[in-house]
Structure 1
Amino acid sequence: MKKNICGLLLLLCFSTVFAQNTVTEVTYKTVLNFANLSEKMTDKYSKSEINTIVNSRSGYDAFNYTLLFNNYESLFWLNPIEVGMESEGGNNNLVTLYNREKDSKFYKNLKDKIWLENFMSSGDGLLLLTLKEEKVEWDITTETKKIGKQTCYKANLNTGKKVYGYSDMSPDISVWFTPEIAVPFGPKSFGNLPGLILEASIGPRTYYATSIKYNVDKTINKLTEGKPITREAYRASRAKF
C-alpha cells in the first residue's frame, strides 16, 4: 500500500520528545518462525535442510539484545549470557550461535554521519567496519498493530538495491515502527524510518522489543575496538578466496 504520509505526520505531532542527551534503553528478544519462510528460501532449501537449520538455531530464544539511543545516536549489541562449555555438556547449538554473535555491535551517529559495526571475521579477528549511511527505500503501509502501548506501522524493505548488507536475493525484510517514539533507530543497523522499530523480521528471524526504559543512567560509547576496514574493502578481500 502507498505511504500514508498525512496519518504519520499527525501521529508525529504526539510523538515522544527526547532531550539531546537523554538515553532510552530498549530490550529485544529474537525468535525463528520457519512457518513464514519466503519462496526464496523454500526454493533454495529442502524440508530436511530446513529442519537442520531450525535445530542448529534452537538457542536463539535465549538471547537478549540492548538498544541505547538518544535523539541522534544509537548502540545495539547482544547481552552476555552463560553458555557453558561444549566439553562439559553445554548446549552445542547455543555455544555456536552465541560465539558467532557475541562480538557484533552496531553504532550510529546521525549528527556526525558515523556508522560503525563490530564484526568477528574468521582469519581476520575483530573488525571495525566503517559503513556508508544508505538511502533506504521503505514501503510504509497503513497496516497497524499495537506493540505494548505503542501503535506501530508496518514497513517493507525494498531489497532491489544493496542496503544494510542485503540485496534482492536476501530474505524478505519487514518491520513495525512507532511514530509515537520519533527516532530513526532499531535492531542491528535498521532505521531510517519516522519512528523507533519495535519489531524487525529478516526472513524467518524476528527481533521484538520486550521493554522500554526512559531516562536511563547509561552512556552511548562510540565503537573503537577492532581493525578498521570499510565494508567494500572487506567484501573485496573475501572475494579472493
Structure 2
Amino acid sequence: MKIRTFQLSICLFALVLCAQLVQAQYARFVESGVIEFEKRVNMYAKIKDRVGKSSFMEQAFEQYQRANPQFKAFKYNLAFNGTKTRFWPQDSQAASSGGFFGSDPSIDMGNIIATDLLAQQGTSQKSIYEETYLITDSLRQIQWRFTNESREIAGYECRRANAIVLDSIYVVAFYTDQIPVSGGPESFSGLPGMILGVALPYEHVTYFATKVDDRPVSAKELAAPTKGKAVNYGELGEQLKASLKNWGDYAQSILKAMLL
C-alpha cells in the first residue's frame, strides 16, 4: 500500500512538473502595445522643499494645503513595438492649476518622448513657460544595479533595479521580461525588459503602469514629435542656465526636470 501511494505521489509530481514546463514553453511575451501610466507627484513634500524659512512661502503653502490634495496625478500613454517607443500625455492636463505652486514647471511638463532603441536615439518635446524645445540626442546610458526585490505591476511580475542619473537623482525602477522591450516612461530605458514602475523618492514623483493593452500599434502612435526649438541636451542645459541664472535655488529644480 505504501509503495502504491509513493508511486502515485511520483506520478502526480511528474504531471505538475510537465504542466509547468509546458506553461513556461508557451509563455506569451508581449512585443507591442500601449501602456497606461499614472504619474503621481507628492505636492506637499515638493512644496515643502521650496518653502525654506520664508514666512510668505509658509503662508502660501498653508493655503495650498487647505485647498488641494497631497498628491497630483497625471495620465500618460506609452506605445511600443520591438524597436521603438513613444510616451505622451493622454490629454491636455494643465499643470498650471493649483494657484501659485501649480504653475511650477517641474511638477509636470506634458513631455512627448519618442525613442529609437536600435539607433539608441531619442527625440523629446518639452515646454517651459512660453518656450517649447525639441531635443534630439543619444539615449542616456544608465548604470542600473539589480536587486532581488520584485513586485507585481499591472498584472506583470517585475524586478527592481536602482540607479543614479544626472549625478544626484536616485531612481528606483521595476521592469518585466514578459515585455522584452528595453523602454519605459519618460527617458528611462536600458533594462532587459519594459519598465512598468519608476520612483524618484527625493523628487517626490512616481510613475506606475495601470494597464497594458497588448495589441499592434500604428506608425502614428510611434511618431516622433516635431514641434519646438531644435537643441541637444548639452545646448538645452546651457540655454536654461543662462535664462535662469538669477532664479537662485529654484532654478535647479527646473533644470533637473528639463534634463531628466
Q: TM-score, normalised by structure 2?
A: 0.66
Superposition pairs of residues 56-205 of structure 1, within 5 angstroms: 58=69, 61-81=72-92, 91-92=98-99, 96=103, 101=108, 103-122=110-129, 125-157=131-163, 159=164, 163=165, 166-168=166-168, 170=169, 172-203=170-201, 204-205=204-205
**Structure 1: which 5+ runs fail to align?**
1-10
Q: Deviations over 1:24-50 (max 9, x none)?
A: 100011224589x8xxx9999769989
Alpha-carbon deviation of 1:222?
1.5
CA shift in 2, pair 1:229/1:98, >3 Å: closer
Closer/same/farther in 2, CA of residues 237 and 99 from structure 1, 3 Å limit:
closer
SS in 2 for 1:63: strand
Inter-partner Cα distance in structure 2 for 1:34 and 1:59: 6
Between the aligned partners of 2:186 and 2:154, the Cα distance in structure 1 is 21
What amino acid does structure 1 have at the position aligned with 2:35?
V
Query: Displacement of 1:137 after TM fit?
Result: 0.5
Q: Distance between the aligned counterparts of 2:75 and 2:49, measured in 1?
A: 31
Distance 1:47 1:66, change over 3 A: farther
Give the length in aligned residue pairs.
Answer: 209
Aligned partner of residue 180 in structure 1, secondary structure = coil
Following superposition, the deviation at residue 99 of structure 1 comes to 11
2:207 aligned residue? 207
- Pair 1:197–1:173, CA change in 2 (3 A): same
CA distance in 2, matches of 1:202, 1:156: 10
CA separation of 1:69 and 1:60: change in aligned 2, threshold 3 A: farther
CA shift, 1:14, in A, is: 4.9
Determine if contact 1:83/1:94 at 8 Å carries over to the other structure: no
1:155 aligned counterpart, secondary structure: strand
Letter in 1 for 2:111: S
Q: What's the CA shift string for 1:141-198, capped at 9, x where partnerless? A: 11111223211111111x2xxx4xx222x3x210111111111111101010011111
Identity of aligned residues (%): 21
- Quick one: distance in 2 between partners of 1:233 and 1:83? 27
Which structure's relative contact order is higher, taking Cα pairs within 8 Å and 6+ residues apart? 1
CA distance in 2, matches of 1:24, 1:71: 10
Cα distance change on mapping 1:135 and 1:59 into 2, 3 Å: same
Q: For the Cα contact (< 8 Å) 2:183–2:194, is it kept in 1?
A: yes
Seen in structure 2, the aligned counterparts of structure 1 residues 94 and 220 have a Cα distance that, compared at 3 Å, is: farther
Quick one: which amino acid aligns to residue 205 of structure 2? Answer: R
What CA distance in whole angstroms lies between the structure 2 residues aligned with 1:179 and 1:94?
39
Q: Secondary structure at the match of 1:65?
A: strand
Amino acid at match of 2:210: T
Structure 2 counterpart of 1:231: 233
Aligned-partner Cα distance in 2 for 1:65–1:43: 26
Determine the C-alpha separation between the residues in 2 that align with 1:83 and 1:230: 26
Alignment RMSD: 3.9
TM-score, normalised via structure 1 length: 0.70
- Consecutive unaligned residues of structure 2, counting only runs of 5 or more, are 1-23, 246-260
Partner of 2:39: 30
* Contact kept? 1:30, 1:60, Cα under 8 Å: no
